[in-house]
Amino acid sequence: MLYHLKAFEAYQPQGTMEPYVRTIREEESITVHHPNLTPDIFDKYTAMKHIVEAQKAGITKVEWIHVSDDEDAATWEELEKACSNCNGCKLYSNRKNVVIGTGNKKASVMFIGEGPGADEDEQGIPFVGKAGKLMNQCLEGLGVKREEIYIANIVKCRPPGNRNPEPDEIAVCLSYLEAQIKLVGPEKIVLLGSVSLQNILGKEYAITKSRGKWIEKDGIQYMPTFHPAALLRDEHKKIDFWKDLKEVFKKS
Ligand code: SF4
């Protein structure tokens, strides 16, 4: 059986979370409404905390229900406020800045990376370190200004030691990115690296096999390619990265 958060509210006396936790412990999964897209159901931060509690209580599967009515969609202001104040996962504790995204909020091309590194955490802007500079050079070479595209990451706070974000962190943070995609409304999305590829399109995709090939999903064209940090480790990947971006910005 799946529980909707809305149904759960009826079980919640005096604002305590106990009945909620007790109920979901008996179940294998819980369905919740998207915390950013249902501002009228109840407070978004409360929803986020419930999800974290569910995960602490051993719930392994959290499913998101997306509210499709435009009137329910989060605004940029709501989204940025929710991200800036977020303590939805453990990455909250060590961050200096929440790295929400940068660029043209109505871009036709969006880039999605993995998560902020040290420089990004310091400045609160994605892709400003060595890897970002390399990506910028590539864009410039193609005659594309960085400000023309929108850039975001799978998680918005820096994973310690630049490790990959963990599944529980991604499960909570992905809702922000989904709301960003909806707000930007891009025609094309460049997925930078396997963390981005697998969390947007599915674990069945491998970056080495999928890179350079368009994948269509829900009316958006996705182009998987290497993460720019991988180019710093292996120069040979630069040629493929260049080719993939050239394909993205090809004039039709
Ligand atoms: S990584 Fe995402 S979910 Fe985790 S604290 Fe930061 S903004 Fe919130």
Ligand 1 centroid from CA 249, angstroms: 31
Whether the Cβ atoms of residue 199 and residue 103 lie closer than 8 Å to each other: no
Mean pLDDT of all residues belonging to the chain: 79
Residue with the smallest CA separation from ligand 1 atom 2 is 173
Ligand 1 centroid from CA 13, angstroms: 28
Greater confidence, 181 or 17?
181
**Ligand 1, closest atom to CA 48?**
3
**Distance of alpha carbon 128 from its chain centroid, rounded?**
18
What mean pLDDT do residues 78-104 have? 90
73, pLDDT greater than 80: no
pLDDT at residue number 56: 60
Greater confidence, 117 or 89?
117
pLDDT above 90 covers a percentage of the chain that reads 58
Residue with the smallest CA separation from ligand 1 atom 4 is 89
**Ligand 1, closest atom to CA 83?**
7
The DSSP call for residue 226 is -
pLDDT at residue number 27: 38
The dihedral built from the CA positions of residue 101, 102, 106 and 108, taken in this order, carries a sign that is negative
Place of tokens 């790295």: 99
- pTM score of the predicted model: 0.75
Greater confidence, 40 or 234?
234
- What value, to the nearest 5°, has the Cα angle with vertex 198 and ends 67 and 89? 65
What mean pLDDT do residues 178-192 have? 94
pLDDT digits (tens, 9 = 90+) for 7-49: 233 333 344 444 333 333 333 344 444 444 333 333 444 555 5
Partners of 191 in the β-ladder: 112, 224
Sheet harboring 109-113: ordered strands across? 102-103, 150-153, 109-113, 188-192, 220-225, 215-217
154, pLDDT greater than 70: yes
Domain boundaries, the chain: 5-70, 87-248
Greater confidence, 53 or 66?
53
Ligand 1 centroid from CA 15, angstroms: 24
Residues in the ligand 1 pocket, defined by CB under 6 Å = 83, 86-89, 91-92, 98, 155-157, 169, 172-173
Q: What is the CATH number of domain 87-248?
A: 3.40.470.10
Burial 168-186 (b: 16+ CB within 10 A, else e): bbbbbbbbbbbbbbbbbeb
